[in-house]
């Protein structure tokens, strides 16, 4: 019989005791838990578990947890620069807190770095095509692809208003002018206009897209050839919404070929990841693991456990 899934506090404790980097702790799951049921007892339990260990808890860990508690307060931010293999630079304004404004979307996660590296090694997949990114966050992967892979159109999407605002600012910072910041989904006729775009200057769109509420018609209007996402598999509820959306994407294709789908995930909790694979199987979505590079060009220290799955919808 499979072991029951350890609680969130226990997973914090295990990672902490194993001296894993602070970022590899299950912050997105914590965000999701607090979003569905604000619960200071959970935070107290996490602190208790960490304090009851022989180890001395890190100050930064307290600070990160404190950020969660006072998340409505002004979050601090910084500017980060990521050097692309071409020597070009992606500059982003990012939050210094792992969770701020009620979201984990205000900083760049390792899976986004790995996905960008893989994309830059496979530019032919993106050249001249319409790319839809789900849960884009503040834009690193998409900006790197726009700079290096010559897509015809790149559609950044997310559901969180603050993330969308920061994403818009980061696009401007990198010389990309979105068609309509936080535009909702376009109409089909607007989508058709995208077809004539020049490959060398990608058309950039920012779409407010929530997997839970987006309709098949709205997805069809986007006319995506390829769909990508990084670090969007971290909570059972999110997983179900994501798979529901992928099913809508597959039924919305009408006469078009189904988009190719690639999802990069940091495996923080193997149970959550297995649940994702089991739910894909249940939904009849075939998948295969894309062999990943063991090291990431954009990461200089510890390499997290990131996997890219190709889904056949
Ligand atoms: C852990 S962050 C990853 C951000 C970025 N892809 C990265 O890897 O740096 C997860 C992102 O998914 C977005 N997200 C979560 N649930 C969503 C939903 N139901 N619809 C659309 N986006 C969602 C969040 O707003 C957040 O930006």
Task: Give me the residues paired with residue 80 across strands.
Answer: 92
Q: Please indicate, yes or no, whether residues 119 and 203 belong to a single structural domain of this protein.
A: yes
Read off the pLDDT of residues 260-301 as tens digits, 9 standing for 90 and up. Answer: 999 999 988 888 999 999 999 999 999 999 986 666 777 656
Query: Per the domain annotation, does 281 fall within a domain?
Result: yes
Least-confidence region, from 85-89, 169-173, 259-263: 85-89
More confident residue, 112 or 21: 112
Read off the pLDDT of residues 21-75 as tens digits, 9 standing for 90 and up. Answer: 777 788 888 877 777 666 667 777 777 776 676 556 567 777 777 666 655 455 5
Q: Could you give the number of structural domains in the chain?
A: 2
Average pLDDT over the chain, rounded to an integer:
83
For a mutational test of ligand 1's pocket, the pick from 97, 131, 137, 168, i.e. the residue with the most ligand atoms closer than 8 A to its C-beta, is 137
Query: Per the domain annotation, does 149 fall within a domain?
Result: yes
Q: Please indicate, yes or no, whether residues 49 and 184 belong to a single structural domain of this protein.
A: no
Query: Per the domain annotation, does 193 fall within a domain?
Result: yes
Tell me: pLDDT of 112 over 60: yes
Q: Please indicate, yes or no, whether residues 138 and 181 belong to a single structural domain of this protein.
A: yes
Ligand 1, residues at Cβ distance < 6 Å: 28, 103-105, 108-109, 111-112, 135-137, 158-160, 163, 209-212, 230-232, 238, 241
CA–centroid distance, 298 to ligand 1, in Å, is 20
CA–centroid distance, 275 to ligand 1, in Å, is 18
The kind and range of the H/E element at 238 are: helix 236-251
190: Cβ contacts below 8 Å, ≥ 6 apart: 221
Q: What is the pLDDT of residue 155?
A: 97
Query: Per the domain annotation, does 173 fall within a domain?
Result: yes
Q: What is the pLDDT of residue 192?
A: 45
Nearest-CA residue for atom 20 of ligand 1: 210
Average pLDDT over residues 145-151: 96
Average pLDDT over residues 85-109: 90
Q: Please indicate, yes or no, whether residues 178 and 230 belong to a single structural domain of this protein.
A: yes
- Dist. CA 300–CA 140, nearest whole Å: 17
Tell me: pLDDT of 2 over 50: no
DSSP state of 295: S
- Domain holding 248: CATH number? 3.40.50.150
Nearest-CA residue for atom 12 of ligand 1: 135
Please give the number of the atom of ligand 1 that sits closest to the Cα of 136: 6
Q: Please indicate, yes or no, whether residues 197 and 283 belong to a single structural domain of this protein.
A: yes
Query: Per the domain annotation, does 204 fall within a domain?
Result: yes
Query: Per the domain annotation, does 257 fall within a domain?
Result: yes
Q: Please indicate, yes or no, whether residues 21 and 83 belong to a single structural domain of this protein.
A: no
Query: Which domain covers residue 20, as residue numbers?
Result: 8-69
Q: Please indicate, yes or no, whether residues 97 and 126 belong to a single structural domain of this protein.
A: yes
Q: What is the pLDDT of residue 75?
A: 57
Q: What is the pLDDT of residue 34?
A: 74
- Dist. CA 279–CA 285, nearest whole Å: 9
Q: What is the pLDDT of residue 195?
A: 44
The pTM score is 0.81
CA–centroid distance, 147 to ligand 1, in Å, is 22
Contact 189, 223 (CB under 8 A): no
Task: Give the confidence band of 133 by pLDDT, cuts at 50, 70, 90.
Answer: very high
Burial letters for 255-276: b for 16+ Cβ neighbours within 10 Å, e otherwise? eeebbbbbbbbbbbbeebbebb
Q: What is the pLDDT of residue 190?
A: 46
Tell me the two tokens of residue 277: 């694979």
More confident residue, 307 or 302: 307
Contact 171, 143 (CB under 8 A): yes
Q: What is the dihedral of CA 197, 146, 109, 7, to 10 degrees?
A: 30
253: Cβ contacts below 8 Å, ≥ 6 apart: 220, 259
Read off the pLDDT of residues 178-226 as tens digits, 9 standing for 90 and up. Answer: 885 444 554 444 444 444 444 467 999 999 999 999 999 999 899 999 9
CA–centroid distance, 157 to ligand 1, in Å, is 9
Nearest-CA residue for atom 16 of ligand 1: 238
CA–centroid distance, 48 to ligand 1, in Å, is 29
126: Cβ contacts below 8 Å, ≥ 6 apart: 119, 145, 149, 150, 151, 226
């Amino acid at each position: 019989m499979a072991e029951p899934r350890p609680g969130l506090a226990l997973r914090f404790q295990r990672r902490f005791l194993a001296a894993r980097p602070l970022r590899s702790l299950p912050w997105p799951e914590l965000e999701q838990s607090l979003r569905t049921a604000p619960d200071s007892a959970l935070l107290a339990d996490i602190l208790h578990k960490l304090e009851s260990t022989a180890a001395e808890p890190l100050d930064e860990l307290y600070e990160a947890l404190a950020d969660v508690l006072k998340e409505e307060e002004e979050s601090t931010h910084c500017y980060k620069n990521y050097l692309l293999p071409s020597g070009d630079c992606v500059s982003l304004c990012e939050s210094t807190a792992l969770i701020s404004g009620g979201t984990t979307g205000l900083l760049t996660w390792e899976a986004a770095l790995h996905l960008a590296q893989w994309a830059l090694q496979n530019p032919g997949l993106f050249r001249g095509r319409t790319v839809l990114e789900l849960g884009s966050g503040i834009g690193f992967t998409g900006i790197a692809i726009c700079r290096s892979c010559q897509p015809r159109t790149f559609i950044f999407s997310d559901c969180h208003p603050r993330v969308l605002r920061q994403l818009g600012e980061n696009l401007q910072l990198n010389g990309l002018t979105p068609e309509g910041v936080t535009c909702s989904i376009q109409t089909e006729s607007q989508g058709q206009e995208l077809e004539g775009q020049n490959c060398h200057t990608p058309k950039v769109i920012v779409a407010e897209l929530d997997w839970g509420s987006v309709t098949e018609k709205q997805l069809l209007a986007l006319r995506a050839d390829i769909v990508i996402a990084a670090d969007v598999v971290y909570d059972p509820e999110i997983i179900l919404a994501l798979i529901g959306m992928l099913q809508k994407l597959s039924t919305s294709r009408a006469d078009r070929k189904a988009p190719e789908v690639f999802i990069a995930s940091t495996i923080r909790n193997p149970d959550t990841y297995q649940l994702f694979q089991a739910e894909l199987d249940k939904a009849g979505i075939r998948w295969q693991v894309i062999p990943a590079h063991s090291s990431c060009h954009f990461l200089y220290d510890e390499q997290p456990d990131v996997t890219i799955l190709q889904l056949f919808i």
